[in-house]
């Protein structure tokens, strides 16, 4: 079941879950929706893998009626492959798509995909053109960086050309491809792009807390935000942002609240996946919930002793025994994301 003709939500109080390779699978998307995510994107899907039946592609496209609206994010560097991939997705009922021009991981860039596409703007535009001809104007977005290096920042020119081509929205992670996750996200650049185009621009990058997102919206004037690492540590970040924007005091990030989220996540994984792969994935994920709390090392070690779903659910409750005092934001140590799949 797919998103059919549901329109996409844009607005400060309509935060999105970013496409996160190895993380934004169906269980996690469902969890984030229950905590206020207005829209989600799939993990990035290889257009070539889709056409030739690559390992794991089918799982990446798994969805349910609750998983809506949904955007399928594709990556690749060959227009002719996209011409073959798009009909497959449309036939399955998917209607909204995103081209990944932001991934800066070496093995993706080596194929000419991800942020490396920004070094070949004509090719990037050709691929988006193929997607738009298949899906229709407004149904394709692009997630991109400032450029591949500081010397060739071309996001403004590309943004204007993508709008002219018929793109429906843009998402900007305001770093260069070469920066990976280093330095600081330039939120002002998001504002530059938002003023340069007439289509919605979503801000991404360094949105670790709901307060960060509210500040980014105020500084940039973006149409909305797209949470990535912040959602991995705190899936309730979506509702917290909505509370702030509505003038309400957001609920505190507590061990008890995160334990509840972790338990829900485990049960969703068991229900929607239930495979040994799914079990290993959620077991590795759980320590992220405890970022900033004392006792995380003990929790990580204890999780390794869990060998079935029942033991894992019981262990999730131990998060409530962690200290209630959060560390300062600077010490949360939110490491850069790494691909957990062989794309």
Band of pLDDT at residue 174, cut at 50, 70 and 90: very high
DSSP letter at 301 equals: H
Asked if pLDDT for residue 333 goes beyond 60, the answer is: no
| Annotated domain spans of the chain | 16-245, 255-321
Banded model confidence at residue 325, pLDDT cuts 50, 70, 90: very low
Whether the pLDDT of residue 338 is over 60: the answer is no
List residues bridging with 172 in a β-sheet.
Answer: 144, 203
Q: Using one digit for the tens of pLDDT, what is the confidence trace for 189-231?
A: 999 999 999 999 999 999 999 999 999 999 999 999 999 999 9
Between residues 141 and 6, the one the model is more confident about: 141
Task: Report the pLDDT value the prediction gives residue 324, as an integer from 0 to 100.
Answer: 47
Q: Are 184 and 193 in contact (CB under 8 A)?
A: no
Residues 110 and 245: their CA atoms lie apart, in Å, by 41
pLDDT at 295: 67
Q: What is the pLDDT of residues 50-91, one digit of tens each?
A: 999 877 888 899 999 999 999 999 999 999 999 999 999 999
Cα–Cα dist 40/38, whole Å: 7
Question: At a CB cut-off of 8 Å and minimum separation 6, what does 200 contact?
Answer: 10, 168, 169, 170, 223, 224
Lowest mean pLDDT among 3-7, 44-48, 192-196: 3-7
User: Tokens representing 4?
Assistant: 């059919």
232 within 8 A of 46, measured Cβ to Cβ? no
At residue 330, the pLDDT reads 38
Residues 274-307 have pLDDT tens digits of 899 999 999 988 888 877 777 677 777 888 889 9
Q: Among this protein's residues, is 103 annotated catalytic? A: yes
Read off the DSSP letter of residue 177: G
pLDDT in the model for residue 254: 80
Strand duo 97-101 + 45-46: pairing: unpaired
Cα dihedral value 87, 27, 337, 138, nearest 10 = 40
Q: Lowest-confidence range among 41-50, 95-104, 142-151, 318-327? A: 318-327
**pLDDT in the model for residue 10:** 97
pLDDT for residue 90: 98
Please name the fold of domain 16-245.
Answer: TIM Barrel (3.20.20)
- Nearest Cα neighbor of 188 from 147, 216, 226 is 216
Q: Which of 32, 39, 101, 103 is catalytic?
A: 103
The beta strand positions in the chain, using DSSP E, are 16-17, 39-41, 45-46, 70-75, 97-101, 140-144, 169-172, 201-203, 224-227
Number of Cβ within a 10 Å radius of residue 231 = 28
- Summarised one tens digit per residue, pLDDT across range 116-134 is 999 999 999 999 999 999 9
């Amino acid at each position: 079941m797919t998103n059919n003709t549901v329109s996409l939500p844009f607005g400060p109080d309509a935060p999105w879950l970013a496409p996160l390779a190895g993380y934004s699978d169906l269980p996690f998307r469902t969890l984030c929706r229950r905590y206020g995510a207005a829209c989600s994107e799939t993990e990035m899907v290889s257009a070539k893998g889709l056409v030739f039946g690559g390992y794991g592609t089918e799982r990446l496209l798994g969805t349910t009626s609750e998983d809506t609206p949904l955007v399928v994010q594709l990556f690749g560097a060959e227009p002719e492959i996209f011409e073959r991939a798009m009909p497959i997705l449309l036939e399955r009922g998917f209607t909204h798509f995103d081209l990944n021009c932001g991934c800066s991981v070496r093995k993706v860039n080596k194929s000419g995909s991800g942020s490396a596409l920004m070094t070949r703007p004509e090719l990037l535009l050709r691929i988006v053109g193929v997607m738009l001809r298949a899906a229709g104007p407004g149904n394709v977005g692009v997630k991109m960086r400032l450029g591949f290096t500081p010397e060739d920042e071309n996001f403004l020119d590309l943004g204007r050309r993508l709008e002219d081509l018929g793109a429906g929205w843009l998402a900007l992670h305001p770093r260069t491809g070469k920066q990976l996750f280093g330095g600081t996200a330039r939120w002002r650049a998001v504002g530059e792009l938002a003023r340069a185009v007439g289509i919605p621009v979503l801000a991404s990058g360094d949105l670790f807390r709901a307060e960060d997102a509210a500040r980014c919206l105020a500084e940039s004037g973006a149409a909305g935000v797209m949470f990535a690492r912040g959602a991995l540590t705190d899936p309730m970040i979506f509702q917290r942002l909505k509370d702030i924007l509505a003038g309400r005091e957001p609920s505190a990030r507590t061990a008890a609240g995160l334990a509840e989220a972790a338990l829900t996540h485990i049960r969703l994984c068991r229900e929607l996946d239930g495979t040994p792969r799914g079990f290993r994935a959620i077991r590795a994920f759980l320590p992220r919930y405890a970022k900033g709390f004392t006792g995380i090392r003990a929790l990580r070690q204890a999780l390794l002793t869990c060998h079935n779903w029942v033991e894992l659910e019981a262990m999730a409750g131990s998060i409530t025994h962690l200290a209630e005092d959060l560390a300062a934001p600077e010490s949360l140590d939110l490491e850069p994301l790494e691909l957990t799949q062989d794309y």
